[in-house]
Chains A and B, each alone.
Chain A
Amino acid sequence: MTDPTRIRNFSIIAHIDHGKSTLADRLLEYTGAVAERDMREQLLDTMDIERERGITIKANAVRLEYRAANGETYTLNLIDTPGHVDFSYEVSRSLDACEGALLLVDAAQGVEAQTLANAYLAIDNGLEIIPVVNKIDLPSAEPERVSAELLGILGGDPNDVIYVSAKSGTGIEQLLEAIVDRLPPPGGVAESPLRAMVFDSYYDTYRGVVCSIRVVDGEINSGEALRFMATDLSDAADEIGVLLPGATPVTRLGRGEVGYLITGVKEIDLIRVGDTVTDAATSADAPLPGYQEPKPMVFSGLFPADGDDFERLREALDKLRLNDSSLVYQPETSRALGFGFRCGFLGLLHMEIVRERLEREYDLDLVATAPSVEYRAHLTDGSTVQVRSPQDLPDAQVLADISEPFVKVMVITPSEYVGTVMELIQQRRGEMGEMTYLTPERVELHYQVPLAEIVFDFFDQLKSRTRGYASMDYEPGDYRRSDLVRVNILLNGVPVDAFSSIVHKERAYRYGRAMVERLRRLIPRQLFDVPVQAAVGSRIIARETIKAQRKDVTAKCYGGDITRKRKLLERQKEGKRRMKMVGQVEVPQEAFISALRIDE
């Protein structure tokens, strides 16, 4: 067990590519934790998709031993945080496990919204922040400007800023000294029943669920009977240990220490990030604050392109969930798409990651319906219904009104784009909040925007309209009543549930128009004219016609080559078999995918 006064728990808050991983590598190297070449593999999660996207989803913790200038040896626990807004709950739990954070900013880029959002989160959690300017070796580096930005946000003295080059190692020692000097040691009560927070968990095929924990009060001993307070699950601590960064079992973790815990639990569901572990015998009176149920924000129907794959999809989702307790799903039936699942995701990125993994790792061909948020339908009888799918919207006769989730959006942009950003926000039905000049050139803007307007292509639009200079972050806000309607799309008079959508009244026409035009292009001509209509209630707001097919014959002399001709016809037939029948209309898979693709 380590003397708590010699422990420093901290994480690194940084925008993607600002050098978090490189800095972590350097810290490991400097403190002699690992041989250089092993570092990346060790510290970061190795899932392909995460790597490709340049983010780490699952936080993790590494223990470093540092002999400081004062001659004492300190235990530094570097706790990794996920870098994306979709995972802000996980971020805040990881921050909860720390007393301090390094706010790392690229000297050539400056502060970005996500960094700032996480920095605010850290400040709100009472963390001590050390501003760090990285990449000072770059010719384009502007350390003074970036440092001024940081101080504008954090306040404090210019001398507080540490300048490093994670690449070359410049400034690493000053940084380690600052961690020891400026970050407080962990608090907590030693003589008290165990309370440890689970700040991360993942599923390992051999070991079952592995939790990352931070001991707040008391101590945890190997073999001890434990209780997870939120889920009221009891099990023994089969193994506890620390990551050096290789997993090293220990017999005990004391107050302020960080490590991993393995119990007999095999289902990730049963162990929740943010939960408190206590010892079953003496049991703490109350859990640590901050725990929340994982809350999906975005919903989408996932359907196997081939109806026969439904069971495979179920199995794949079950397997994915072992590793991702924030993924929720329940069976859903669509008239157009058959059997599938309505899935809830933390956000759009999460949704894409899940879909990609299902397709790539489980070899499934999926059709995903347009993402939707969770609306609340207020009925005339005073009751409220959750609406996660447009089909769930109650009939107009019983519907009083609808409210939708809003989010608090923060945008950081160069001041020249303020007008552009405001215009975009306005188009997205956003309400302007505070506006702060970080420096004369950079502005921090706050808005309330309907989540539905964000989940589509808001981020891409923001990026393209500001030439990539603006960055954004958002957090959940409240529900507000809005003038929303459901637009139904009818193919040959038959409503196609997969294409219907809840949209703001003023957007209904545009959505309907765009959809019918797209479908007319995407659906091949049939044996008869097929009307494609968009309707709100019984009112048709847009209409196109897919003209009947006129020619479907090989009008060519193909000599005696009957076999090839037959094979061609059979291949075409096979292609048709993969189409979905909507009423009498054959709709190719691609039509679903492309029509639901979000592009304006």
Chain B
Amino acid sequence: MQKTPIITAKDVDVFYGAKQALDKITLDIPEHKVTSLIGPSGCGKTTFLRCINRMNDLVDICRVEGQIEIAGQDIYAPEVDVVALRAHVGMVFQKPNPFPKSIFDNVVYGPKIHGLVKTKDDMEEVVEWSLRKAGLWEEVKDRLTETATGLSGGQQQRLCIARAIAVKPKVILMDEPCSALDPIATAIIEELIDELRKKFTIIIVTHSMQQAARVSQRTAFFHMGNLVESGATKTLFTSPQDERTQNYITGRIG
């Protein structure tokens, strides 16, 4: 348990223009564990998640201060290349957003641009591996050349997960990956997350306390831009230290 964490955030402040969205967030994220971020809407979960692969760079008015280290490297250091960073920190968005290309092309895109595959055989291998891991292979193996936007919402989300793991990142960030899915598709993805954690480190934003309890080993509770409390999921849910956490998990705020 006392392994060095793979991600450490220290005093992270985020501003959108003059508005502060995150205030002095300090959080360690252990390797090969699922960490869930919970909290009421607008508390800054997505913002924090997007700091970890620097997607916030895309927002002109966004400013990030403080320090985030992944495997000992400061990712906001000037010598860091965001393209390389994002190759190691994959992201699955809240709304499934497959490319409007074939299923095959969707999965193989990342490995291709990062030069991980050369031959057709390599590509087929990585596509099958990723789709199997994402629990989608059996459903789509006969229609790899069909366009991905013809898949159901749950299938699209699993395709996005397959696409993210195809480059074999160290960390996968998931922003409410099940918010648009039915219970069966959700169950499939939760199983998948549990399976994926053997190879990857996963951070998941969720609004469902049950989901956080089911899939994660660690939980962090955010409230109005502050990190109120974090720790082992079981402890946090059974004996929260802070009153706000208590209120949130019992459904009194949020």
Partners in one complex: no
